[in-house]
């Protein structure tokens, strides 16, 4: 990998105070992998606690609202995430798009809000199995990238500052145990990179493109060695240090 690898654990709606022990173990191990950027995104109630528990890894949220404050019961603003110690936020995950009907336009508005609050952003994109079987995978993902990426001066500054990443997660591979073929990952990451260049010109080479979808210790090395794969967005395997750290180690070995 030409870029410094970025390994992010998405705990989704999992976690408790007891799981802070896993985060501490991951944090301690981070010192053995200084060439890898490591982060965890726990559920909202644990963000502040996790921030206090770790020192060497990033801490992020899994979503934010487009507005900084207001009458939006149950929502959390980007400013609130930043206030409790979050460094970044994951936006547009397929589970948000599916369960909450989030559109590309809404993801872009959330990204704008997050960047304005000083957070880094990971924009998620990915096709369904039906879309892949129909031969539309690259078109679908390209459209998601084009219409979800933040725009404007703040976005360009974020891109230049390394605060924007894109995560390609084929929907059919998330939590299923299925993983895209490396050749398909290479092709899709190249397509995403092309859209990043279209959006940001030469600065489009800067954002890291992560792969997500049943990443584990057994497949991480092959995936992370592929061109344009700048890291991984890890779901279930990020819930324990024993499962997550081999993925981190695979990223570090690729940089050795």
What is the set of active-site residues? 93, 169
Burial of 75 (0-12, 13-18, 19+ CB in 10 A): middle
Cβ atoms of residues 25 and 53 within 8 Å: no
> Given its phi and psi angles, is residue 175 left (phi above 0), alpha (psi -120 to 50 degrees) or beta?
left
Length of the chain as a residue count: 256
212: helix, strand or coil? strand
Decide the pairing of beta strands 231-234 and 120-125: unpaired
Question: Tokens for 110?
Answer: 């959330």
The residues with which 159 forms a beta bridge, in sequence order, are: none
Cβ atoms of residues 165 and 226 within 8 Å: no
Cβ atoms of residues 145 and 108 within 8 Å: no
């Amino acid at each position: 990998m030409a870029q410094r690898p970025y390994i992010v654990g998405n705990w989704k709606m999992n976690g408790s105070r007891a799981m802070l022990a896993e985060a501490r173990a991951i944090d301690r191990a981070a010192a053995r992998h200084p060439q890898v950027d490591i982060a965890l995104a726990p559920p909202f109630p644990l963000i502040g606690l996790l921030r206090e528990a770790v020192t060497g890894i990033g801490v992020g949220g899994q979503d934010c609202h487009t507005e900084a404050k207001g009458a939006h019961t149950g929502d959390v603003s980007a400013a609130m995430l930043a206030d409790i110690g979050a460094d970044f936020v994951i936006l547009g995950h397929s589970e948000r798009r599916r369960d909450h009907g989030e559109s590309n336009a809404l993801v872009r508005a959330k990204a704008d809000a997050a960047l304005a609050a000083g957070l880094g952003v990971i924009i998620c994109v990915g096709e369904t199995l039906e879309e892949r079987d129909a031969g539309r995978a690259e078109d679908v993902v390209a459209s998601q990238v084009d219409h979800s990426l933040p725009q404007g001066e703040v976005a360009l500054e974020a891109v230049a500052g390394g605060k924007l990443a894109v995560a390609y997660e084929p929907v059919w591979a998330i939590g299923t145990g299925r993983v895209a073929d490396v050749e398909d990952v290479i092709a899709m990451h190249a397509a995403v990179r092309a859209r990043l260049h279209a959006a940001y010109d030469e600065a489009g080479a800067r954002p890291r493109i992560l792969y997500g979808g049943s990443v584990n210790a057994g497949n991480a090395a092959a995936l992370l060695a592929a061109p344009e794969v700048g890291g991984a967005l890890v779901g279930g395997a990020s819930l324990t240090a024993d499962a997550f750290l081999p993925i981190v180690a695979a990223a570090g070995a690729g940089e050795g």
